[in-house]
Amino acid sequence: MQNLIKRVKYKGWFIFDLPYFIRENKFKKGIELGAKAGRSMFFMLRANKNLQLTGIDLWEMIEGGAYKNSNKNEVKCKHKLRKFNNRVTLIKGDAKQIADNIPDEEFDFIYYDLQCKLMTGVHQEMISKWVPKIKKNGVLIGRDFRDFRTAFYNLGYNDEDFKKCMIGKRASDRLEYLVIK
């Protein structure tokens, strides 16, 4: 039973942990890089009635088992988020290029969820382009930062900079964040 609960919490980071963390921090304006079919955006928006959220994705066929239907994800995402229309902006394209058109210090948080084969070797540049878009004392949140720590080290961050998202007294198994100074 304990194992089952642990597994649900690990798998359910987008249902419980991310929406909770956004709510606890009273974030009002955020962006998700890697919106896919709108799953994590849906739960953030549902739990945070005053949240304005932008989502970016390529929405094209890419390599990897989880992306067999990637070309359908744009339609799926729009459909999933339809009832939050007045609080959602969706942008299709390469997040690296889109960053050039976003003003600095625009968001309270970025939820960074771009990890896939296509992004191999690209995270460092992507992160360096997006960090300035976060307000001072805002946060960069991710669930896979362990997979590309080197990109962060090369940008001057170290292990102590990474904090676990706290869900009440529980540390999220997946989600970490960096505070932007």
Ligand X SMILES: C[S@@+](CC[C@H](N)C(=O)[O-])C[C@H]1O[C@@H](n2cnc3c(N)ncnc32)[C@H](O)[C@@H]1O
70 lies in the site for ligand X, by CB under 6 A: yes
Instruction: Name the minimum Å distance from CB 5 to ligand X.
Output: 21
Q: Which is nearer to ligand X, 1 or 66 (CB)?
A: 66
3-state DSSP of 18-87: HHHHHHHCCCCEEEEECCCCCHHHHHHHHHCCCCEEEEEECCCCCCCHHHCCHHHHHHHHHHHCHHHHHH
Region near ligand X per CB under 6 A, out of 2-10, 33-41, 134-142, 146-154: 33-41
116 lies in the site for ligand X, by CB under 6 A: yes
Among 78, 115, 135, 164, binds ligand X (CB under 6 A): 115
Q: Which is nearer to ligand X, 71 or 150 (CB)?
A: 71
Widest distance between CA atoms in the chain:
49
Q: Which is nearer to ligand X, 83 or 181 (CB)?
A: 83
Q: Which is nearer to ligand X, 69 or 159 (CB)?
A: 69
* DSSP element (H, E) containing 10: helix 2-11
Among 28, 39, 78, 163, binds ligand X (CB under 6 A): 39
58 lies in the site for ligand X, by CB under 6 A: yes
Q: Any idea what the Cα angle at residue 156 is, between residues 151 and 161, rounded to 5°?
A: 90
DSSP letter string over 111-134? EE---SGGGTTTHHHHHHHHGGGE
Q: Which is nearer to ligand X, 124 or 136 (CB)?
A: 124
User: Which burial class, exposed, middle or buried, applies to 32 when counting CB atoms under 10 A from its CB (0-12, 13-18, 19+)?
Assistant: buried
Catalog residues that contact ligand X under the rule CB under 6 A.
Answer: 14, 34, 36, 39-40, 56-58, 62, 70, 73, 94-96, 113-116, 118-119
